Amino acid sequence: MQVFGSPDTYIQQRNAVDSIGDHVGTLGSTALYVASPTAKRLTEEPATASLDDAGVDVTVKEFSGECSKAEIDRLSSIVGDVGAEFVIGAGGGKTLDTAKAVGEACDIDAVVVPTIASTDAPCSALSVVYTNDGEFEEYRFLSKHPTAVIVDTAVIAEAPTDLFVAGIGDALATWFEADATFVADGDNILSGKDTLAGHRIARLCYETVTEHAQSAIAAVESDRVTRSVDNVVEANTLLSGIGFESGGLAAAHSIHNGLTQVEATHGAKHGEKVNVGTLTQLVLEGRDDEFIEQVVRFSLDIGLPVTLAEIGLEDPTDEQLETVATAACAEAETIHNHSFEATPTMVADALVTADRFGRRVSSAYGDSTTGQTPTAEPSMPEAE
């Protein structure tokens, strides 16, 4: 059975928040608006004004900071208290995942308003649930996708550039994981097989970020919106969201989940840990040196981490490596979508190897913290 999924509506434009009521006002007359502190500051006034014009009574609540069972339960109770007919989540991936989970728990529509393009969370019928301390706990699979995804590129361009770059790291993994799943005839996140559309979208995601990332980053560094910014925002958000869900996940995200089990990595962003997972996946797959080096160089060019030290593990102990590798290979993890059997020993070996590979290329090629490239800029490998 082949399965393809997507949000009902995806809207991306400059100042999209100013007209949110035009797009979601028909969902009900009462709504709960859940926003991170930054998103609340950036979007509350124009969003509530637009919703008010559409005849929607809005209750605004601040997100606690963690997509946890406790936070989902807290907000679900508020939905009941105020009689909200739909929920809107505004902020980063954890805020949006929480809003989607609340919609599922309360059987109401969920609308998401990403204020950063740092993950592919907005478009999926999936919430990644963490403990209150930020450790990965479970994937919560939802019965439906967001009713609407409203992407305001002006808001996203004003967000910190490192969050935008982290989103590229998350998007970069999409093709590698989807293709690994396809080759192994594994299941996608929707418990079905990949469609041609899902597979091609995953590839388009890779092509888009590798062709437009540097120009897009240059623009958002000055809070500007250009065609390249539009392209990369779409890749980070829509293409990556559909690509990972309908295409499938593999080792990169499993290794990310394993890395969250080590407290030292908690300061690293989702896409940063995913990028380390991607390089580790390439080592696990036995990709040739030139291919891996090109991916490392691209990462250096745009400021993505390529070593364990850059995500908080300066000199990991055997115990820490074992913790990461064991969690990455848990029974329900997507690393088992590969055509080979992955074991904790293999993952630990690949982590150390990818780290040393990243250090070597970084030393020879430039400063990994700034993306300076003293040698000729390489082209990225064709999507295989």
Catalytic residues: 170, 253, 256, 270
Q: How many CB atoms lie within 10 A of CB 60?
A: 15
Cα–Cα distance for residue pair 254/170, rounded to 1 Å: 13
**How far from 84 is each of 22, 87, 313, CA to CA, in Å?**
18, 7, 44
**How far from 383 is each of 156, 175, 246, CA to CA, in Å?**
28, 8, 18
- Whether residue 352 contacts residue 281, with contact meaning beta carbons closer than 8 Å, is answered with no
- Tokens matching residue 39: 């998103």
**How far from 291 is each of 8, 354, 382, CA to CA, in Å?**
37, 13, 9
Residues 6 or more apart whose CB falls under 8 angstroms from that of 16 comprise: 150, 151, 152, 153
Residue 162: phi and psi, rounded to 5, are -65, -25
- Tokens matching residue 168: 């590229």
Cα–Cα distance for residue pair 209/228, rounded to 1 Å: 9
Enumerate the H helices of 93-133 as residue ranges: 93-106
Looking at residue 130, the DSSP 8-state letter turns out to be E
Enumerate the H helices of 184-302 as residue ranges: 196-220, 227-234, 240-247, 251-259, 270-284, 289-302
- Read off the amino acid at residue 66: E
Enumerate the H helices of the chain as residue ranges: 20-24, 37-53, 69-82, 93-106, 153-158, 161-183, 196-220, 227-234, 240-247, 251-259, 270-284, 289-302, 318-328, 344-365
| Torsion on CA atoms 72, 77, 81, 85, rounded to nearest 10 | 50
